[in-house]
Structures are given as structure tokens and as C-alpha cells.
Structure 1
Amino acid sequence: MTVRLYPGMLDTSKEYFNHGDHVLIIKNGSVKKFEDVDQHPELNKILDDEVELNLLLDKWFGNNTVVKLRTLARCRFGALNFTPDFSNDSSSHDYCECEYRGNCEGENIICKPVVFNGSEISDQEIKLLQELSTNEKNTAIADNLGLPIGTLNVNKTKTYQKFGLITKQQLTKDLFLEGLL
């Protein structure tokens, strides 16, 4: 049996994630609500460094720093995965399902385009790879995506090549580890 530990459980990294209406953080071996952690210096640094982000959050929330930081954590880092959001001086953003995707003024400002296996991945590619990771046959997947089978096969080949995928097992493992499944 393989046991996977989330970032922050046994190390000094941090993992923010959404759980219902709450934003939680794994830090120093414990899980806490966002509001129960006094400071979020890594999120404050992002606000200081990204002018467009700060202007947008000011427009939405005024001077309410806690809501700005929680929104940043929710939208940019909200998926629970096995890659730490913050480790040492580096950070890694997540893909979060969002009902506003495609219609949000903050898209690609608050949330960032997701990188999968070294390349930027689109929503359509995520949906395709999620479908391909199931036990469904290609004909059923094509039907689910509303594509002709030939188009599915071409898209599958191009997408596998783009992300360096060889097998369905590798695809499924990589999607799972990145929090895309």
C-alpha cells in the first residue's frame, strides 16, 4: 500500500486548499482554517509584486486584506495536490474548478494558467485527459466530448505528445498528483 503525504505534513512547505466554503492550509504538520493563521507572508508578497492583481482585488474588496488574501489562496492555490504551493522561495499554482471560468474579470490575473508536465494546459485539454483516464472506450469518450472518433484520436495523439505521455497509467498518475483528477 502506498501512502502519500501532502505538502506541509512533514516539512516546512505550505499547501492551501479549498474545502467547501473554507480555505484551509497545511502547515507545520497541522491543518488550519485560513483565518486561524495570523500571517500569510507569501500571499502578501504576491500582492506586493503583482500590481494588476492588487488593483483588481482593491476594486473588488477595497482595503479588506484578509478577503483579498483568502481570494488569492482560493483561486490560485485552492486545489489539494502533492506539489507544495509554497516551498522555500518557490511557489506553484493550482488548477481549481471554478463556476466563473471563462467569464471572470480576474481570469489569468488571480488564477494563473496551469502547467502540466512542463507545458501550459487548456481547459479543453484537461477535460480530454480526464476522460482518457477513465475506463471508457474511445468511442464513448468521443460521444461524451461531442467529437467524431477521428477527431478524438488526433487530439489524443497530439495531447499525449505535448505532455510527454505514453500510457494511460502514466496519464492517470500524473493527473492525480497534479490535482487534476
Structure 2
Amino acid sequence: MSFPNIYTHRRVAETAAKPCDICFRLSSSVLITPDNKDFFYICPSHLKDAGFCTPKIDQAAIEARKKKELEEEIERVKKEYEEKKKKKEEKDKKDKKGDKDEDKKDGKDEKEKDKDKSETKEDSKPTSPKPEEEEPRVFELKPTFYQQRINKKRQMEIAKRNRERMQDPSFFPSVPKSLP
């Protein structure tokens, strides 16, 4: 009975929290194997402990996330450029029309320029804050803890097998029928 030393971190509902296998405090974090053969509750602080487990980094997922962020940034810059270009064209059109009525609209133009400046300041701010760094989801236990998990699983199987044997009536010896 062996299972891979790869555990996925999952969260359960707070109402389903059970004691941590290490420190026995209530925890809603669970480490589970991909084939669901083994699982145990663990505190999130233990996951950060280098003596307990090491995170397995998925390079493909990191590269895909970086590529997606880069594409979003390019799209945002393109939109900003188009907006600035549009505003500049509108301003040029107003300037051509404004040459005739320049003396009348001086006060209004200054107000519009102030508005444009405030809008560009607002546009330059990032629309969405950077997502905080995700915690690793896949872990590999250190050899001593992994061996403890294997031993515990074996003991559970042995206990289950013994319970089944005890329920079988042929397990116990029968009473002797002949005289000694």
C-alpha cells in the first residue's frame, strides 16, 4: 500500500474543521493525494515550515499566468494610447474652430484643459490592483513525515483486517468434541 508523495492543499468549511495532525489545533486546511488515498488536516503555518514539506512549483502555470498578465498590460496600454490619440484629435479640431472665437473661449479652454489633465491622471492609475501572490497548492512531504503517513495507513489497514477476522466465526477455535 503505497501512494505518491504529492499532496494538494485544499480548504474545507470552517464547520468541518478538525484537529491538525501535528499540533492538534482546529484547522480547515487539508492535504490530500491526487488519487484520494490519503488525506490529513494541517495548519497553514506548517505548510510554510521547510522541515515539514516543500512546495512543488508548476512552471507551466507560472508561465501561463505571466503571459496572461503581459497580454492584459498590452491591451490596457493600447486602450490608453487610443484614448489619448482621440483626445488629441478632438483638441486639434477644437483649435481649428477655436481660432475664430479664440478671444471668447479663453476661460472655457482653461477649464477644459484642467479637466483633461485630471482625467489623464485618473487614467494613468492602474484600474486593477496587482493580485497578491498565490500560495503554492502542491506539496511534497519530507521523508520522515511521508514515512509516518505510510505507517499510519498500514496500521489502519491491519486494524480493519483484524476487525473483519474477529467478526468471522471460523476465526476462533472450536470447542473440543472428544474426550482428552
Same fold (TM > 0.5): no
Higher RCO (CA 8 Å, separation ≥ 6 residues): 2
TM-score by length of 2: 0.17
Q: Which has the larger radius of gyration?
A: 2
TM-score by length of 1: 0.17
Larger helix share, 1 or 2: 2
